[in-house]
Amino acid sequence: MIDSSRDPFTQGSQLRANRSDAENTLSNFIEYTSTGFTINTTDGGWNANGETYIYMAWAGSYSDFITDYNTDGSIDSRVKASDTTGFSIVSTEDHTGSQTVGHGLSSAPDWIVAKARSGSLIWPVYHSALGNTKRLRLNDNTQEETNAVWGNTDPTTSVFTFNQSSNTHNYIFYCWTATAGVSAFGSYTGNGSSVSVTTGFLPAFILIKRSNSSAANTNWEIHDNTRNTAGELLGVIYPNTNGVEGFNNSGSSITTTDNSFTVNGSGGSINGNNDSYLYAAFADTREAAFWLDQSGNDNDWQPVNLDHNDTLLDSPTDNFATLNPLDLKTGTTLSDGNLVRTDSVEAWESTVSTMAVSSGKYYVEFTPLAVGSTVNIMVGVVQTGFQCNVSDSRFWASFDGHSYHAVDGNKVINGSGSSVSYGDSWTVGDVIGVALDLDAGEIEFYKNGVSQGVANTGLSGTYHFACASYQNGTKIECNFGQQPFKYDPPA
């Protein structure tokens, strides 16, 4: 088990789910990106020639692997959290005794897996269906144990309690909260025949553990629809062992529907009569598989010039601006969902966002992808009323424009039309952040995550985000929040 919180770039601090060992680090073992990872080793556990591997991956957040500093608990924590998928990675340092720990999610976690990075200690597991007075161990097959590791206290919307050892250790925690269409956590009672569990989505990954202490110890079981793509999920992985996968071919299996899974047979590890079971189920939210028909009808389609950054979770509350295709001067074209603009003339050409704002805080990133003979680019905001198709745009002088110039790092403020010294110059590949705080009436520009200072104060009215360029061949990419930002927005 590896994560980008412990090793942000090209490392590989391994924790083994079936062992209590402290983490072991292999230098430059794995490289993380915004779309996946690369294994840089021929180690047999990860990349032996000709062997077959399966992986499960969760995204806490992607922002150059920078974690948020969290002070909600009695001990400070570092957190990478995603409320969209209900998952966070949490780490603490010099953790001793009972502490409350900030988890970074807006809902109380339903499932927490913990491990001491620096000590040989078990993997305690919290499950909301088991309660705060008991624990399971991910690294072995032990049934539920009464233990105060969770402080006999339920997690809250901001913190959970953790008390494993009186010694001082660094810890890593993986936290999940049930999220509609993404994950479900609960329990069921086996009947030795067939039990259905409603999840509200098509489960792609199911983890099950028999929990009642009156029954014999049984392994954790992982079932998934990647190894068994249709019909019964017979292949089993036991995360508390280092054994190869097994197969429930003696009448015990799992089948899935669009909103549930069913455990079949009388196998004690998943459906013993009157035994208690805990489960964690996840939908297939692989952004790389957005083309996959989840209905089971195999109506898959082949994406062309699309990747996961061109997709969003389906939610009517997640509305984002694009560049306005209805207001363009001749010579400006839009592509990539109206998020990339290209100029084909030697004249100032502007493009503005489809949405305008008059209050609140907003952050947008602009990235030059190509430039002409000179880097004549400006980004910023302009008040509503400016029309790109009739105006030249040096920089929106009559419409209270505020801009940051690439070629010299100058700025234009208050719609004056004349520039003054401001920040660093910038060019292809640089990411320019525009932070507009209309509650405070301020605008601030960032180059590659570094503030160039507050550019102007006293802003009021309704503004569009905007970009402009002069040279033929200039191409600018805009991110209004549809994709993960390259740099963390300011608070």
Residue pair 270/236 in contact (Cβ under 8 Å)? The answer is no
Edge-first strand listing for the sheet containing 37-39: 10-14, 24-32, 37-39
Instruction: Count other C-beta atoms under 10 Å from residue 399's C-beta.
Output: 21
Q: What pLDDT does 182 receive?
A: 87
Q: Which residues of 29-38 are buried (b: 16+ CB within 10 A; e: fewer)?
A: bbbbeeeeee
Residue pair 136/144 in contact (Cβ under 8 Å)? The answer is yes
Residue ranges, the chain, pLDDT below 70: 7-12, 34-35, 61-67, 230, 248-251, 285-298, 300-318, 391-398, 413-417
Tokens of 414: 């208050």
- Alpha carbons 188 and 109: distance in angstroms, whole number: 19
Domains of the chain: 10-176 (no CATH), 183-287 (2.60.40), 332-479 (2.60.120.920)
H or E element that contains 87: strand 87-95
pLDDT digits (tens, 9 = 90+) for 117-176: 988 899 999 999 999 999 999 999 999 999 999 999 999 999 999 998 788 999 999 999
Residue pair 217/141 in contact (Cβ under 8 Å)? The answer is yes
- Alpha carbons 111 and 123: distance in angstroms, whole number: 13
Task: HSE, CB side, 13 Å, CA atoms: give it for residue 180.
Answer: 3
Show Cβ contacts of residue 443 under 8 Å, excluding neighbours closer than 6 positions.
380, 381, 402, 434, 435, 436, 437, 454, 455, 456, 459
Separation of CA 335 from chain center:
26
DSSP 46: H
Q: What pLDDT does 64 receive?
A: 45
- φ/ψ of 102, rounded to 5, equals -70, 130
How would you class 271 by CB atoms within 10 Å of its CB: exposed for 0-12, middle for 13-18, buried for 19 or more?
Answer: buried
H or E element that contains 31: strand 24-32
Show Cβ contacts of residue 15 under 8 Å, excluding neighbours closer than 6 positions.
1, 2, 21, 23, 115, 117, 172
**Longest Cα separation, the chain:** 80
Closest CA to 401 of 414, 410, 390: 414
Model pTM? 0.61
- Alpha carbons 259 and 221: distance in angstroms, whole number: 20
Residue 288: strand, helix, or coil: helix
Residue pair 187/275 in contact (Cβ under 8 Å)? The answer is no
